[in-house]
Structure 1
Amino acid sequence: MSDFVKSLAQSAAQIDKVASGSLYPHQSDGVAFLLSKRRVILADDMGLGKTRQAIVAMEVGAPSGKILVVCPASLKLNWKREIQLVDPEASVEVLGVDRETPDDARWIVLNYDILGKHAERLHGVNWSGVILDEAHFIRNASQRTNHCLKLLGVQAEARAPVLGPDFVFLLTGTPMTNRPKDLFNLLRCVGHPSARSFLSYAKRYCDAYRNDYGWVTTGASNLDELNLLLKEVSIRRKKEDVLDLPPKIRSWVPVDISGSAAAFNAVESFVTWYSGTDPSKPNDTEFLARLTKVRTALHKAKQKAVEERIRDVVASGEKVVVFTCFSEGIERHKAKLGDTAITITGADTAEKRIAAVDRFQQDETVKVALCNIIAGGVGITLTAGTHVIFQDLDWVPANHAQAEDRCYRLGQTRQVTVEYFTADGTLDGYIATLLDQKMKLIAAVEAEELPDTSILREIQDGLRRLAPALMEEARAARATGDVAQRIEKLAAAQPRATADTSPLGETGQWEFTSSRDPSARYLVTFGRAGHLECTCQGFAYRGNCKHVREVRGKIFDE
């Protein structure tokens, strides 16, 4: 972080109100950053206490107004608990859970799924602050995204000013879950000018191109610039940088499925069908149905190996967390483990989920947590466990990262072992390698230090070897266009060099002379949320320009 940005954090008003000793040092820095920026993405690693930082910052920055928290349904009661840990006297209403609601509650907590149901009430409140937890939930266009944008004062007109709450905090340990397009709505929520036009953004950072069906925006380009842009309105710390945590060991465990005729038949059937399809005429419905049969068969083929590993871990006196994509596996494990295991699935109520977490954390007779990778992968703490097993692989690396860190977070005092069980030589192998390449892409965008210029070439080389898996994923996501062409464009997108000199101002203002009209001057300054703005016409239309890019490089690339 540059000295200029550090000074913004240090100058946050009222930070002295935070009780001494109530926060870790990195959390105090985070609170100061939130207060100084006001509209910001808090992108700390999972387990660094984003919830606590956001609550404290709201208590300090907006001590008398109403605060809205929007989060996944499974986290609503956890938010109420955390709020009352910071302020035991806080008045909190949890929509959809509380039967008796407090009069004129200061904190309102609800989940994304019921935003529409309570829209009239919510949009009629003059919120002092809004927190979106697991903010990557709004990365795609949807009704809930539209409700969130309206609550945050983001107007439909591209160049209209952002109105709404004084404080807006977006919390997510995985701001870019898959591709650069995932960041667009998050940047829009915090009022970053680069998010005024999706097409302009996509051309710059998503390697956008047109085919017969429209614009394809699933690629990546100018990653070094996107890395710097994100630093204007976000703060991200990694565990290894701020905590003295024990190590996390990750390994891939190949499973011999030669004894599973069903798995081999499913794979053979899929390959035979797939090799005979016409890529120009994809049948997504049939493709997804056949692909699901393969993944289900592989899941079942690995069941016995996972059962044996669970027994080994429990016999050593440790607790283990098992993640799977299929409910059938959870039910079969539970039937064998009985009361020594708890389950966390999407069908559980918030109360049941909290009770299950508490049992795993506090009851010595409970040795195993059986979790759906989505439902059990966010917003809960399972630090009693020291061993994590993935029976299945998800397409999205962020889902694995979130799930791993249920154990590897604040409060963990022992080494955490993470094992991915894969049916070697099958679809699992493709997914595993693809996940590794995606993680490199995400790391390039979110890195504190800019990546080496060879990073895109390395990613491209890996992706080229994964053409079959890429085509499968593209079809599964209903993507269009030539995947090979997208890979070639990614390979050609080398990081852009930053100018050696630029007219930097000591007061946070930078002046440029127009290349067309020497008498014209353009001024680059910091905007409301700490992002850079320019007075030139290019910036007015696109929310980005060469002057801003040059200043951004000088400030944040230090």
Structure 2
Amino acid sequence: MPPVRKATGQAVSPLKRPSIAGVRELRFRTVAIFSFPLPPSLAVRPTEPGLALPVRVAPAQLWNLNLGRLDPPTLAPMGSNLMGPTIETPGSVLVETDSMGGGIRAGRRAPGEAAAGEATWLSRLTPLLLAPALEPEVAAALGARPYQQDAAQAFLANPRFLLADDIGTGKARAVCLALAVLTHQREVHRTLITAPRERLAHWHDELEAFVPELLRREMAGSDEVRRSEWPGFGQVDLVAVPDLARDLEAGCDLPSFDLIVIDSFIALLRRQAVDLRRVSGLEVPRRWALAGTVPVDPEDWRTLLGFLSPDIASGPGRAGTGELRERFTQHTLRRSKTELARQMPRLTRQEVWVDLDPELDRLYRQALAVERERLGRLGGSLSRSHLEASLDNLKQVCNFTSDSYDGPKVRALIDLAEEITSARSKLVVFTIFGEATASRLQPALDAFGVVRLKADASPEEQAEALTRFRSQPGRRVLLADVEARGDDRSLDPCSYILHFDHDWNPAHRRRLEQRFFPDLGPAVPLTVYEIWVRGTVEEQYHRALEVRHLLASNLPQDTQPSDLDERLSFEDWRREVFEIATAPPKVAEPKARGTGALPGTGTLRSRLDSLTAEELASAAEAMLALLGFDSTRRLTEPKDGGLAFLACRRGGADCRLVHCLRTGKNIGVQEARTLIDEAEQRQDCRGALLLVTTEFTPACKKLAEDSGGRLALLSGEDLYRHFRELGVVP
């Protein structure tokens, strides 16, 4: 069936344009089936018994096709041997139009019949299947709007370009459209995208939607790890601006890039100007910048032009703002949400994911262990109210670094506020924790002209606060409690909402938005941001909501909060979010033991070796549960040689690093010391447990005895006994 235009929900007609739009993936079988038009990128995958290798198709000029209906091509099955960038076939394939110029035929030509210098069959086929990425129907089917296609055309026409549309208009999507064209035309082979750290997840989503065939990497981790990965290959590298600046300062040898994109330029200019200037020193022929508005201050213009066009920025004299604008005006596109209102949806929603810094992550892990232990001790008395109280406690830990107004969530908020308020737009920030959070957010937002809307204020005081926010141009941020009441009027001219911390139930957020924007979007389209924290219970319940299709973007307009309470049960919260299992009776921790050799003639060893990798892993998990570990998490995939677990008891307060090894030799001191060192490097581990299918050397046993409880051993004899109790082995 034809693709559907996301904007209208209507099917895209294949007859609107005379050219075939292209296919994302085509499988050659006895009968080939096509659907037109399709996305701009193309991966051809011949499929025969025992062969399924992907091929990336090179660009080529479109053939001249007759106007009118173009019938889907009919392709004869062919054998192929795809071994890298070159293609070898038993015989070349001739692709041609039929006598009427409407259909397309592919026929086999015997080896040796191809004319000298004739194009390969794939390059002949490519023009019929690969359309320009900016084909209007194709881009619309992918969710790109006309104004985003216009911006992509501007990028293509300008190697040095600033797109300064209002934040929330989808500038990253325009970059992806242009990148698809330049990559397929082989004008860009390697791209560097750098942005505030919290923006990288959004870039991953956009790249996956528009150019999934491009190999992309996120350069993250420690400085040492990141710098070791730069020499590797990636068609699109994503990196946070501070990390990139540190690597450049350290003299890291970066690969050559054909295109660099800097996102959130105004926010970076305000908070990380030094890093921005260092990144500007990279020698890259194509340079694009994204911002929520154009700079106002001459020095800001010079910083921007120092990145985009150093020759203009370093012109003679100290040019003022007007002269700098004039020098670069043809390389700038600035449009407000008001100008684009007719082409934009009335409401868009975007998740902003942040990572806890090391110190805050340590505090969170400590709080999580305390909450899990408390919930575990409640036993049968545990109720949903207990879980909700623990959830609130953990969410508040994530909000701020200890004894400060700072934190990863605050930085994400400030970056958004910089971009929004620089364009003279207004923002509402909601918090579910009232004064406890607002009192620490307000100092961070004072620079933007903040108005406080308290839930416990009188109706008159709340009305006065709303009036000040609406009427005073310098008051650009409304910091509101979620229990505060609106006045049944939309908060025009505000067009941005940010949920700093939020109720787990997205229906509550939707009702809150309706309270302050009764028409669900003022005259200017409304953009809603939600800040989420990776590696915390927020990510756990986000996943639980996502698999049930209960995220805010999925809910019908009339969804009630009680509807979601029923869909995410108490057991779901206990098991999926907090990972609290009903603990079996605790038994003593295993002691270092062994008899020196496996008994008998190898019967025990053969029975353990007969287990598949998954059977061994599942049996080890069941045995750990018998030993009193409430939960286990696999750290590696099961392999014939074994796997690694993180096993925890007492609700996560006592965690052990577990290595389960299947080997043909006895385990000595080296393997044991390696495991102890790995456990000590993990902040969430109190020790290690080594499970083997053979036996331990005397020196290894002595090491365990002297480890002070940091290492426990289970030999093959111990495994066999436990596995037999579980019914895993006879």
Taking structure 2 as the reference length, the TM-score comes to 0.31
Q: Which protein has the bigger helix share?
A: 1
Taking structure 1 as the reference length, the TM-score comes to 0.40
The higher radius of gyration belongs to 2
Which structure exhibits the higher relative contact order, with contacts defined as CA atoms closer than 8 Å and separated by 6 or more residues? 1
